[in-house]
Amino acid sequence: MFEGLKDTLGRFKDDVEEKADADGPADAEAGPDDSEPAESTDGEPDETASLGKRAKAFATGGVIIQPEHLDEPLETLELSLLSSDVEMGVAEEILDGIRENLEGTIRAQVQSTGMVVESALRDALLDVISVGQFDFDERIAETDSPVVIVFTGVNGVGKTTTIAKLSQYFEQQGLSTVLANGDTYRAGANQQLQEHADALGTKLISHEQGGDPAAVIYDAVEYAEANDVDIVLGDTAGRLHTSDDLMAQLEKIDRVVEPDMTIFVDEAVAGQDAVQRATEFDAAAAIDGSILTKADADPQGGAAISIAHVTGKPILFLGVGQEYHDIERFDPEQIADRLLESED
């Protein structure tokens, strides 16, 4: 998963390490012409501070990571991130974070330069993929029952299967669920969701094709209240070629049902398209987070890196297969570690 992005970050680490280590330990006697002097409190270059840093590096046998060690690798990294479907603003944020974390850093004798670069990369990644993170299970537990969750996104990205996966996820935690088919325009939608409901042993609330999506989900909420069901999982239609109608439906569901959570679902492999669609859906009916399907088949990782930062809402889960158990919580620290783990 995300092998392309992992390779990109690995190459950057190797490039910076090679350039910095090629210069060898810092020369304590080098003057300000050999490095960019630090600024004093009045904004003027502080040559004493610069010399002090170089002397410290020399005394410890360390290496100072200079701007010239970063310029070319960062340029290459930017192109690679963009080709991995990372959104441009997100790529720039990552690059700025890396430069801020690395430039002028002293690599101690007990460290490798690669260790220093990896730490800076990890911090920069976490800054962009941790946006808006919250404890999903805790929020569910703190919300009065029935908790109403509405799912949005285009058709064909695994939205219905994701709803079924989350139904099992909740049932395994001892929480009962009812499914609601608010996708009343797609032929076969009722049958598809009914098959999942039958397999999971849960209830489906549906209306005839062409009915009011808000009414279906409202009925599911009433059923949940009458039968002490913990969670309502509501599907919605997803047809961007009739986006005005779609967005109007989502806005009406928001008004009528007032869901506790709205989750956007798209394919990780959709890359920049998924990022753009997440923005559009968030504008129509503010989403609380995203779920990316087919993450196991995504060689790039651009959507996973970009969506949270662009929307300001977290990625909550990754779909990693077709079985009901093939869903995993999105943990930014685990994702960062996975992207930076060595193949050795």
Residues with Cβ within 8 Å of 201's Cβ and at least 6 positions away in sequence, in order, are none
For residue 46, give the DSSP letter: E
CATH of domain 3-25+61-129: 1.20.120.140
Q: Does domain 136-330 have CATH number 3.50.50.60?
A: no
User: Any idea what DSSP says for residue 34?
Assistant: G
Span of 13-22, 103-112, 145-154 with lowest mean pLDDT:
103-112
The one-letter amino acid at 304: A
Closest C-alpha to 237, from 271, 197, 210? 210
Which residues, in sequence order, are CB contacts of 203 under 8 Å at separation 6+?
A: 178, 179, 197, 223, 229
Per-residue confidence (pLDDT) for residue 146, from 0 to 100: 96
Q: Which of 58-62, 226-230, 272-276 has the highest mean pLDDT?
A: 226-230
Classified as helix, coil or strand, 282 is helix
* List of E strands, the chain: 38-39, 45-46, 63-64, 106-107, 147-152, 177-182, 203-205, 231-236, 261-267, 289-293, 315-319, 327-329
Q: Is the pLDDT of residue 288 over 90?
A: yes
State residue 266 phi and psi, 5-degree precision. Answer: -155, 175
Q: What b-and-e string marks burial along 125-154, b requiring 16 or more CB atoms within 10 Å of the CB?
A: bbbbbbbebeebeeebeeeebbbbbbbbbb
Contact call for residues 262 and 287 (beta carbons, < 8 A): yes
Reference 238, options 327, 149, 161, 151; nearest CA is 151
Whether 86 shows a pLDDT value over 50: the answer reads: yes
Task: Enumerate the domain spans of the chain.
Answer: 3-25+61-129, 136-330
pLDDT of 253: 86
- On the question of pLDDT at 261 being above 70, the answer is yes
pTM: 0.81
pLDDT higher for 110 or 237? 237
Region of 2 please: left (phi>0), alpha (psi -120 to 50) or beta.
left
Find out whether 102 and 16 touch, Cβ atoms under 8 Å. yes
Helix (H, G, I), strand (E, B) or coil at 143: coil
CA distance 117 to 141: 39
Quick one: pLDDT band at residue 33, thresholds 50, 70, 90? Answer: very low
Residue scoring higher pLDDT (235 or 62): 235
The pLDDT of residue 249: 79
pLDDT at 81 over 80: yes
Please tell me the predicted confidence (pLDDT) of residue 30.
40
Most confident of 38-52, 128-142, 298-312: 128-142
DSSP 2: -
Share of the chain above pLDDT 90, in %: 33
pLDDT for residue 24 is more than 70: no
Cβ atoms 289, 316 nearer than 8 A: yes
Query: 263 φ, ψ to 5°?
Result: -120, 130
| pLDDT tens readout for residues 134-189 | 999 999 999 999 999 999 888 888 899 999 999 999 999 999 999 999 887 777 78
Confidence of residue 37 (pLDDT cuts 50, 70, 90): very low
Euclidean distance between CA atoms 113 and 106, whole angstroms? 9
